[in-house]
Chain A
Amino acid sequence: MTAVMGTPRIRKEDPKLLTGEGKYVDDIQVAGQLWMGMVRSPFAHAKVNGIETDEAKSMPGVHAVYTGGELMDMGLWVAPLPCAWPVTPDMVNPEHYPVGTGEVHHVGEIVAVVLADTRYQATDAVEKVEVDYEELPAVGSIQAAMADTATAHSDHDTNKAFTWALEPNPDALNDAFANAAHTVTGEFVQQRLIPSAMEPRGVLAVPSPAGGEVTLYSATQVPHILKVMMAATTGISEAKIRVIAPAVGGGFGAKLNINPDESLALTLANKLGRPVRWTETRTEAAFSTHQGRAQQQKIEVAADGDGKILGVRVHLDADMGAYMMLITPGVPLLGSFLYTGVYEVPAFGFTCDGWFTNLTPTDAYRGAGRPEASYAIERAMDMLAAKVGVTPEEIRRRNYLAGGEAFENLEVASTLVFDSGNYSPNLDMALDMAKLSDLRAEQQRRRDAGESKQLGIGMCTYVEICGLAPSRALAGLAYGAGGWEAGTVRMLPTGKVEVVTGSTPHGQGHETSWSMIVADKLGVDPDDVEVLHSDTAISPLGLDTYGSRSLAVGGVAISMACDKVIDKARLIAAHQLEANPDDLEFEFGRFGVKGSPDKGLLIQEVAYGAFTAHNLPDGMEPNINEQMVFDPPNFAFPFGTHIAVVEVDESTGETTLIDYIAVDDCGNQVNPLIVEGQVHGGIVQGVAQALYEGAVYDEDGQCKNPSFLDYLVPSPTEVPSIQTEFTYTPSTSNPLGVKGVGEAGTIGSAAAVINGICDALSHHGISDIEMPASPMRVWKAIQDAKAGN
C-alpha cells in the first residue's frame, strides 16, 4: 500500500463526464411531463395592470396558463422566497414570491407561467400572453440607487437596504489617519458579472403516483438547503420532499440559490399531480439567475514614512439588485474581514451600505465578497508602494503579518484569528519563478525604446477566508443556519466502503478526493470506495458545497468518521484476536498484534465479521456504520502570491497575458491534480473579470450584453499556460490541516492582472484602469493621459 494522500490521481468521475454519460437534469425525461414557459417582464420596473391569457390557452399542447395573481390565489406558498442572512435587524427585505404581481422589479421577473406538453409549445404560448405593463421609473445602476430620485420599489422611500459596520477601534483609526505620513485612496468598481456555468440551470419536479411526495431534480449546489427552504416556503413537510442534484455542470455560487422556477415546478407538480420541468435558455440565465460582484469600493490606507500601514478604512456600496436572495446581503460581509489582507494593520474600519436597484438580484459568485476585498487592498498596496517609492514586493514585505514568518492562530485587525500563515517564502518562490529582475530589465528596455508593446508585472499576495464555517461564528453574523457538515462511512460485507457525504460536488471531484481520504485512513484501495451524495434521500444530512468548504469541513467529517470506523473495528479485531485493543496497531488496512507479526486481521475481514455478527464483543451493535458531523472551530485562511505578466499594446489598448505565476498555499493537499485544476479555473475566472466580463445595463435597467456574443467569457485560447507551485502551511482549524482552494484562484487573479496593466502604463501617470480592462478602455486611458487629462 503506497501513500494516497498528497499524490496526484486522475478523477474517477471523468470518464463518464468526458464521454457524455453524465446525466444532467435536462437529460432526465419522465412520462407525462409538462414544460413550464415563463412570461417575463421586459421592463426593469413596471406596474402590471392586466394579463390576457385566452389566446395562449388555446395554443396547441397548452395545458394551463396561470397569471401571477392566479398562482398566489392557488395558495401554493406559505412564505416568500427566503433570505437567510438578514445582516442587520432593520434590513429592508421586500417580499419576494416566485411570481410578481402588481409591480415587477427587474427585467426577467416572472409574471405568468405556461404549462405545455413540449418546450416549443410552451415557448410559442408565452409569446401569446398579453401583459399590460405601465412602465415606472427604473433604478438602472447603483449610482441611480444612491441618488434616490426614484426608488426600485414604489413603496420604499429610499433604495438603501441596510448599513453594516465593522469598526473595532474607530478612535485608533482616526488617529492613524491623523498621524500618517502617506495616505492613498483607491476607488474601484466591481462590475456586475453574469455567472456562466457550462450547464444552465434546470429543474424537474416529479410527484409520486401514490401522492404526497415530490422529488425535485435541480441543477443545484445545495440540495439540502433547497429541501429545507422548499418545505419552509410551501408548507410541504421536508419528509415529503426529496431533492436530487444529478450531474451538475458547474455552479460558482449561481446554483446555491432558492429560485422562483424551483418553487414553481415543485408546487405546480404537487398541485397538478404531473411532472413539471424547465431549463433556462442562456438569455433567460442572464436575467433569472443571480449575478455577482456589483460593488463600488473606497479604500483608504494610512502609512508611516516607511510605508508601514497604520490604518485601513473601507466603505462599500453594494448593489443588491431588486430582491434579497438567499445570502445577497451577506456577500459583502464575507469580504469585510479581508480588507486588511495579509498585513499587520493596527487600526481598521469597514462600512457597507446595501442598495436596491431594478436589476437582477446579486448573490454569491466564486469568491463572494473576497475577490472584491483582495482586489481593493492589493490595488491599494501598489498605490502605496508608488507613493512611498518602493517596489510592490517591498511594500508587501514591510507589512506582512508576523514579519512574513510562520505563525499559527494569530488575531488580526478585522477581529478574526488566522489559522496559519507563512507569507515571505511564498512570495519569494513566486518572484523566483517569474524571474523578476529579468522582467524588470526587459520592461525598462521597452520603455526606453518607446516600443508599442509595453510590459507590466502585477502581483497580488492574497489571503482568503473559507471552510464555511464555525456555526457560532455564523451566528455572530446573523446567518440563518450553521456551518457543519456530515459524513458517513460504512464498511460493507464485501470489504468495499460506502461513503455518504453532505457535500454536493458539481465539478470539484469529491468522489475522487473523498475516496482518497478513506483509502488513506482505512488502508483500502481508492477504487473500493463509493461516494454517494447529492440526493437527500441517500444523504439526508448536509449543508452542501460553496465557500470553499467541502474539503475543510465535509472532507474532514469523512476523515473523522473513518477514525470512528477504526475505533470500532479495533474493538472487534481485539475481541476476535483475543488481544487487548491497545496492543493492536492499525497499519495499511490491517490490525496486527504488537510483537506477534503473524497475528492480525484485515479491516475487510473485521467488516465481514461485523456484518455476520457471529463473534462480536458483548453488547456491541452489528455492522460498522459511522457518522460524523463536523463543526469546525475556525475558518481556514489559504493564501498565495499571483504574478501576472502582461503586454499592453499602446497603439490598440490590447492587453495580452504573456505569463502567469501562481504560488498558492492551501495547507495539506489531498489530490494535487485537483488542486491545480481548481487554481487554473479560478485564475481564469478572475482574469475574466479583469479583462473580459461585465454585464452592462442602460439607465432603464436593460442589459446590453445578455448573450455570449457580447458577454465575453474567455476561452482557453485567451489564457497563457499557467505556472503553478505550492507552499504547504497546514491549517490548525481541522485535523487534516487542509484549507479550501476552490475560490483562491479567483481571489488572487484580478488584482494581479490590473496591477500589471497599471505597471505597464505607469510611465503615462496611469494608476488605475476600471475592469474589465477592454482594449478600448485602455486605449482611451492612454489618450487621456497623453492629453494631460
Chain B
Amino acid sequence: MIPSSFDYVAVDSADAAIGALTEHGDEAKLMAGGHSLIPLMKFRLANPTVVIDIGRVNDLSYIRDAGDHVAIGALTRHMAVETSDLLKADVPLLAHCASQVGDPSVRHRGTIGGSLAHADAASDLPAALLALGGSVMVKGPNGEREVKADDLFVGFLENSLADDEMITEVRVPKATGAGWSYQKFNRRAQDWAIVGVAAVLNGSAGVSLVNMASTPLRAAGVEEALASGASHADAAQRAADGGSPPEDLNGDAEYRTHLAKVLVQRALTEAESRKS
C-alpha cells in the first residue's frame, strides 16, 4: 500500500500534458482522477517514474450539445455525467451508467476519460460507450484523431493510444427516445460488476458486456440475432458468444456465462419497455 517513489508534474493544458508525455515516454503516466492508477501504484503493480497530473485541466471538463451527439470533456467527473440534464434527456444510458460507478467519493474523483483510457473490462462506462456506438477524440504531438469505441479497447487494461497521446473528448450519439437498459450484477453497491450488460434499442440494437472477456466487449452474437429477427429470449442465449469470461471468487466461467444470458434478457426487456 506504499507506492514506489516517482516524480510528480502537474499540467494545466492538454498540450502541456502531451509535451510531458513526449518528454518522459513510457516511464510516465497521466493521472486524471487517480482512482484506478493510484491503487495500482500502491500495490506496486504500476510503477511509473513520472506522474503527470491532468486533474486540473479544467477546460477539458464540460458536457456540450454538439448537434447529433453530446461532447464530453475527458476530465469530466462521473458525478457530472450522472447529474447532467442534457445527458439524462439525450443519452440516459450514459448518465445512468455513471451513477453506477463505485460510490459517491469515487464518482467525485473519477473521470470519464480516465475510465475509458483504463480500458477495464469490469468498468461500466466502456460498455456504455460500446453500446451507444460512441467514440473518443485522441490528441498527440501530431494533432487530433477520432477513435471509435470498437477500436479503443485492445487488450487487458490496454487501449489503442500511443504513449504520447491522450483522450481529450468523448462523443456519444444522441439516443433520445431510444430504449435502454443497464444491468449491473454485483455483490455490494460500490463494487465493479461481476457481469454487466448495456443495451440500446434505437432502430438497431447495441448490446455490450462488462467483465465477460479481458476487454470491454460488444455482444456481437446478441446484436446479430436481433438484427435477423430473433426474439429477445433467443438472442439472449447468444450472450456469451465471443466472450472469454474471467474466473474469480465471484464467478467461474459457467456462472458468468449463465449470468450474461439472464442479464441480456433483462436488459432487452427493460430497454423495450422504455422505448418511446
* Interface set of A (CB-CB < 8 Å, partner B): 119-120, 123-124, 281-283, 651-654, 692, 696, 704-705, 707, 710, 712, 714-715, 717-718, 774-776, 779-780
When A692-B187, A692-B188, A718-B189 are in contact, do A776 and B252 touch as well, CB less than 8 Å? yes
B46 CB → nearest A CB, Å = 15
Mask for B186-198, Cβ within 8 A of A = 1, else 0? 0111110010000
- Asked if residues A120 and B185 are in contact (CB atoms below 8 Å), the reply is no
Question: Would you call B274 an interface residue if the criterion is a C-beta within 8 Å of the partner chain's C-beta atoms?
Answer: no
B274 CB → nearest A CB, Å = 21
- Asked if residues B187 and A717 are in contact (CB atoms below 8 Å), the reply is no
Q: A696–B248 Cα gap in the complex (Å)?
A: 11
Q: A194–B76 Cα gap in the complex (Å)?
A: 37
Q: A774–B251 Cα gap in the complex (Å)?
A: 9
Q: What residues of chain A lie closer than 8 Å to B4, measured between beta carbons?
A: 124
Interface-side segment among B58-66, B80-88, B254-262: B254-262
When A696-B249, A776-B250 are in contact, do A714 and B2 touch as well, CB less than 8 Å? no
Q: What residues of chain A lie closer than 8 Å to B1, measured between beta carbons?
A: 281-283
Q: Of B189, B194, B249, B251, which one neighbours A704 at CB under 8 angstroms?
A: B249
Q: What residues of chain B lie closer than 8 Å to A119, measured between beta carbons?
A: 2
Listed A/B pairs (10) with beta-carbon separation below 8 Å: A120-B2, A124-B5, A283-B1, A704-B249, A710-B250, A712-B187, A712-B188, A715-B190, A717-B190, A718-B189
A113 CB → nearest B CB, Å = 16
Which chain A residue shows the least CB distance to B39?
A: A709
Q: A262–B4 Cα gap in the complex (Å)?
A: 26
Q: What residues of chain B lie closer than 8 Å to A705, measured between beta carbons?
A: 249
Q: A696–B190 Cα gap in the complex (Å)?
A: 21
- Asked if residues B248 and A652 are in contact (CB atoms below 8 Å), the reply is no
A-B pair number, CB within 8 angstroms: 55
Q: What residues of chain A lie closer than 8 Å to B185, measured between beta carbons?
A: 652, 654, 775
Q: What residues of chain B lie closer than 8 Å to A710, measured between beta carbons?
A: 248-250
- Asked if residues B2 and A776 are in contact (CB atoms below 8 Å), the reply is no
Q: Of A123, A283, A774, which one neighbours B250 at CB under 8 angstroms?
A: A774
A534 CB → nearest B CB, Å = 27
- Asked if residues A714 and B188 are in contact (CB atoms below 8 Å), the reply is yes
Q: A281–B262 Cα gap in the complex (Å)?
A: 39
Which chain A residue shows the least CB distance to B261?
A: A651
Please give the number of chain B residues whose Cβ is less than 8 angstroms from any Cβ of chain A in the complex. 22
Q: A704–B247 Cα gap in the complex (Å)?
A: 12
Q: What residues of chain A lie closer than 8 Å to B248, measured between beta carbons?
A: 710
A300 CB → nearest B CB, Å = 32
Ranked nearest first, the 10 interchain pairs of A and B with the lowest CB-CB distance are A281-B1, A717-B189, A123-B2, A776-B255, A651-B262, A776-B251, A718-B188, A712-B187, A715-B188, A705-B249
Q: Of A124, A283, A774, A779, which one neighbours B187 at CB under 8 angstroms?
A: A774
Q: A120–B259 Cα gap in the complex (Å)?
A: 43
Q: Of A124, A283, A779, which one neighbours B255 at CB under 8 angstroms?
A: A779
B251 CB → nearest A CB, Å = 5
Q: A775–B251 Cα gap in the complex (Å)?
A: 9
A778 CB → nearest B CB, Å = 10
When A119-B2, A281-B2 are in contact, do A717 and B250 touch as well, CB less than 8 Å? no
Q: A653–B191 Cα gap in the complex (Å)?
A: 18
Q: A776–B248 Cα gap in the complex (Å)?
A: 11
Q: With A123-B2, A282-B1 given, can you name 14 additional A-B contacts, CB distance below 8 Å?
A: A120-B2, A124-B4, A651-B262, A653-B255, A714-B188, A715-B189, A717-B189, A718-B187, A718-B189, A775-B187, A775-B194, A776-B252, A776-B255, A779-B258
Q: A124–B252 Cα gap in the complex (Å)?
A: 36
Q: A120–B41 Cα gap in the complex (Å)?
A: 13
B74 CB → nearest A CB, Å = 25
Q: A776–B251 Cα gap in the complex (Å)?
A: 6
Q: What residues of chain B lie closer than 8 Å to A281, measured between beta carbons?
A: 1-2
Q: What residues of chain A lie closer than 8 Å to B262, measured between beta carbons?
A: 651-652
A465 CB → nearest B CB, Å = 33
CB proximity to A under 8 Å, residues B156-205: 185, 187-191, 194
Q: What residues of chain B lie closer than 8 Å to A718, measured between beta carbons?
A: 187-189
Q: What residues of chain A lie closer than 8 Å to B187, measured between beta carbons?
A: 692, 712, 718, 774-775
A158 CB → nearest B CB, Å = 31
Q: What residues of chain B lie closer than 8 Å to A707, measured between beta carbons?
A: 43
Which chain A residue shows the least CB distance to B2?
A: A123
Q: A696–B250 Cα gap in the complex (Å)?
A: 12
Mask for B244-276, Cβ within 8 A of A = 1, else 0? 000011111001001100100000000000000
Which chain B residue shows the least CB distance to A707?
A: B43
Q: A77–B168 Cα gap in the complex (Å)?
A: 61
Q: What residues of chain A lie closer than 8 Å to B255, measured between beta carbons?
A: 653, 775-776, 779-780
Q: What residues of chain B lie closer than 8 Å to A780, measured between beta carbons?
A: 255
Q: What residues of chain A lie closer than 8 Å to B2, measured between beta carbons?
A: 119-120, 123, 281
Which chain B residue shows the least CB distance to A696?
A: B249
A437 CB → nearest B CB, Å = 32
Q: A119–B255 Cα gap in the complex (Å)?
A: 43
Q: A692–B186 Cα gap in the complex (Å)?
A: 12
B29 CB → nearest A CB, Å = 19
Q: What residues of chain B lie closer than 8 Å to A775, measured between beta carbons?
A: 185, 187, 194, 250, 255
- Asked if residues A120 and B189 are in contact (CB atoms below 8 Å), the reply is no
B250 CB → nearest A CB, Å = 7
Q: A707–B249 Cα gap in the complex (Å)?
A: 13
Which chain B residue shows the least CB distance to A649?
A: B262
Which chain A residue shows the least CB distance to B252?
A: A776
When A120-B5, A282-B1, A775-B187 are in contact, do A652 and B259 touch as well, CB less than 8 Å? yes
Q: What residues of chain B lie closer than 8 Å to A652, measured between beta carbons?
A: 185, 259, 262
Q: What residues of chain B lie closer than 8 Å to A653, measured between beta carbons?
A: 255
